[in-house]
Structure 1
Amino acid sequence: MNMAAVKLQKSVVSQTGKHTASVIFLHGSGDTGPGLLSWVCDVLGQNLAFENIRVIYPTAPSRPYTPMRGALSHVWFDRHKISQDCPEHLESIDSMCDHLSAIVQDEIRAGIPKHRMVIGGFSMGGAMALHLVSRYQQEVAGIFALSSFLNKDSVVYQAVENATQRPLPELLQCHGSADELVFHSWGKETNSLLEKAGLNTSFHSFPDLNHQLCRPELELLRSWILKKLSH
C-alpha cells in the first residue's frame, strides 16, 4: 500500500488515565467525525469515553458521490449506486484504506499495538471498517458495524476466506429492524456471508429502530469494547 496518504482530520475523545488502547469510529456518508462524536454523545447522554481507551473519529474527505449525481459529500468511498448487486468501487475503497491505515500507524507510534485497537463505524463507516480490517489490518482486536452492509460480491468475503491471520478479529454487527427499504435484511445477509467465510460474528437487531443509533446499541458497543480492550 502507498503510505504517503492524505492526512485525515480527526476528533478525539481522550482516555482519562494511561493510554493503552484505541478505537477508530468511522461516520456514515455525508457526516463528519465531529458530527458522529456529537451524535453519540446526544444518544448516550455522555461521550463514549474510557479510562484507558482513546476514541478517534476521523472525517472522510469531501468527494463527488455518484448516488448524489456527483455532488460533493464526506464519504469514505464512491458507490456506483446504493445496491447490494452492483460491483464495489474498489479504486476509492483501496485509496481510503491507505489513508485510514495511516491513522493506525499513528496509534502504533503512540505505543498502541494493533491487537489493542478496535475499528468500526456506522452505515458506510461500518462497510469501510470491514474492508480495512479484513484486507489490511487483520491483527486488530475487533470490528464493529452499525446499520451497515456489503455488496453481494464484496472482496471482503474472499479476504476473510483467504486470511492467513487466524483467528480473525470478532465482528459485532447491530441493525435497527425498522431500517428503511431493505437495509436490515442486507445487513443480516452480510453477517451470514461473513460467518460462512469464517468470521466469528454476532448480529443484534434493535426493534423499531430506523437508520439511526440508539442508547441500548451504544451501551452494548461500550461493553463489547471494554471486553476486547480492558485487559
Structure 2
Amino acid sequence: MSASTIRKYSASVIFFHGSGDTGPNLLEWVRFLLGRDFDLSHIRIVYPTAPVQKYTPLNGQLSNVWFDRRSINIAAMESKKSMSQCYNIVQQLIQNEVDQGIPLNRIIVGGFSMGGALALHTGYHLNTDLAGVFALSSFLNRQSVVYESLASRESANGTLPELRMFHGERDTLVPLEWGRETFESLQKLGITGTFTPLGNTLHELKKSSLLELQKWISIKLPALQTDIQNKL
C-alpha cells in the first residue's frame, strides 16, 4: 500500500465497553443499532477491550472489566489499587493516538456503563486537556477521586472537557438517580454539558443517543482543511 492510499485521521474517539463485554462486541452493538459504523470519516473510533481480572460483584469470577468494584453502588468506596492499574492502560491508549499525530484536544473519550465511569475518570482526573467526554448509563461513586481532583483545580486556568451523559429511565442496574446525581455533582465542580434521560430504556444502548453522540462528536471534532484536501 502506498503512502498516498493510507487513510489519515485528524481526530480520535476512544469508546470503552461495559463490564463483561469486549471492544469488538461493542462495535457490533453500535453497528446493529445504527445499521452501519459511526459516520465520522476523519475520526478514528477505537474500541479497546478490558483485561480479564477478578471482579468482586461476580464473587471474584474472572471477567473483562476495566477495574474492580467493591459493589455496584453509588455509596461504595472506589478501589484505588484497581483504578491505578486501569489508569496505566488508559494513558497508553491515549498515547497511542498522540503517537499517530492526534493532539489531546482532538480526542474524545466515552463509554457505556463501567466504560462511561472510566471515561469520566479519564477526562476529569487523568487528562483534562481532552476535547470531550460522554457516558451512557454510568455513575461515579460519591467519594470518587474524580471529585477530589476537580475540587483541587477549581481555581486553575483552562477549559474542562464538555460532557454528554445519557441514561435509561428504566435502568434497574444503574438507577437513573445515580447518573443524575453524578452529573449534578460534576456540574457543581465546573463541568458543562447535558444529561439526557431516555424514556422506555433499560441498561442498554439506544439508537437515538448514538445519533446524538455522532452529531455532537462531529461538532467537537470538525474536519480540518487537510481532511477536506485528502478527499479531493
| TM-score relative to the length of structure 1 | 0.90
Specify the alignment match of 1:219 in structure 2.
Answer: 211
- Does 2:137 match 1:137? no
Residue segments in structure 2 that go unaligned for 5+ positions in a row: 1-5, 224-232
What is the deviation of 1:58?
A: 0.4
What is the deviation of 1:17?
A: 5.5
CA distance in 2, matches of 1:162, 1:88: 19
What is the deviation of 1:125?
A: 0.2
Specify the alignment match of 1:72 in structure 2.
Answer: 62
SS state at 1:63 partner? strand
Note closer, same or farther for the CA distance 1:181–1:58 as it changes in structure 2 (3 Å cut).
closer
Structure exhibiting the larger radius of gyration computed from Cα positions:
2
Decide which of 176, 179, 182 is 1:187's aligned counterpart: 179
Specify the alignment match of 2:75 in structure 1.
Answer: 85
What is the deviation of 1:165?
A: 5.4
Specify the alignment match of 1:6 in structure 2.
Answer: none
> CA contact under 8 A between 1:194 and 1:201: conserved in structure 2?
no
SS state at 1:58 partner? coil
**Counterpart of 2:23 in structure 1: which amino acid?**
G
RMSD: 1.4
Specify the alignment match of 1:13 in structure 2.
Answer: none
What is the deviation of 1:116?
A: 0.3
Paired residues for 1:135-214 under 5 Å: 135-163=125-153, 164=156, 166-180=158-172, 183-214=175-206
SS state at 1:134 partner? helix
Specify the alignment match of 1:7 in structure 2.
Answer: none
Residue segments in structure 1 that go unaligned for 5+ positions in a row: 1-15
**Counterpart of 2:34 in structure 1: which amino acid?**
L
**Counterpart of 2:150 in structure 1: which amino acid?**
V
CA distance in 1, matches of 2:182, 2:19: 19
Specify the alignment match of 2:86 in structure 1.
Answer: 96
Q: Deviations over 1:83-111 (max 9, x none)?
A: 11111011111111111111111111100
CA distance in 2, matches of 1:154, 1:60: 21
Q: Deviations over 1:138-194 (max 9, x none)?
A: 111000000000111111112122234521001100011111155211000000000
Note closer, same or farther for the CA distance 1:105–1:18 as it changes in structure 2 (3 Å cut).
same
**Counterpart of 1:66 in structure 2: which amino acid?**
T
Percent pairwise identity: 45
